Amino acid sequence: MDENAAPHSLSGQVVLVTGGSRGIGAAIATAAAAAKATVAVGYRDNADAAAAVVARIRELGNVADAFRADVSDRSEAQELISAVESSFGRIDGLVNNAGIMPSSPFLNVTAEEWNAVLHTNLFGPFYCSQAALPGMLQRRSGSIVMISSRLGQIGWPELAHYSAAKAGLLGLTKSMAREFGPQGVRVNAVAPGFTITDMTRDIVDTESGHRRLKELPSGRFPEPEDVADAVLFLLSDAAGQFHGQTLNPNGGGFMQ
């Protein structure tokens, strides 16, 4: 997406993107800034990468800052929301993107690994959403977008914990949409397929990558910007009739 284009304006809005320091999260944060939002870049470990995203956003002439938190910890997630609201006055759009994806055969998954994945990928969005909702409900306005995954829709070997957490996000999305839609807050999800990022780029030219590509009607793997476009739409007023929906920027790898 052209960083100077804003097909769905977010002018005057404050958007928080968790896991916003790299990959899909960084693309979402940059897209929101291009749409004229004030952007809070949430991160856990990589302060330098988060600072680079903030610098890129400021180059667009927009307001942005980075906020550190481990969203798998309820108190840190609550402190993240409080810090953003204190700095920018409110949160209009929350994108729950932070996640981890370790790979383990099902019989080898330890309780510690299971808990780490569920607490980051499912509990984290719950914690952040619960903390951000009071302000949105008070204004009777807001949009929450959960970043799920195609693997939460189809399952995948050696990623049972990740698939379970991402599937849980889809149920959480629908339940929240039904509860808070009548009060002015929209809740939706985006479920990307295999997306080219720094973590996946090496797979593209492998036998597995070639096989996956042949399965896509689009003829190409999605880029982070493709996912960001879907998120941007759901954050914007153009998605006013979208409640509890899941958009699938996956190149046709999974069709509903």
Cβ partners under 8 Å of residue 121, min gap 6: 98, 99, 100, 162, 165, 166, 169
Residue found under tokens 């998954």: 109
Structure tokens at 31: 């897209």
Neighbours of 239 (CB within 10 A): 19
- For residue 43, indicate whether it is catalytic: no
Cβ partners under 8 Å of residue 175, min gap 6: none
CB 154 within 8 A of CB 220: no
Structure tokens at 254: 């999974």
| Planar angle of CA 166, 170, 174, nearest 5 degrees | 160
Catalytic residue among 67, 126, 127, 162: 162
CB 236 within 8 A of CB 10: yes
The residues annotated with a catalytic role in the active site are 162
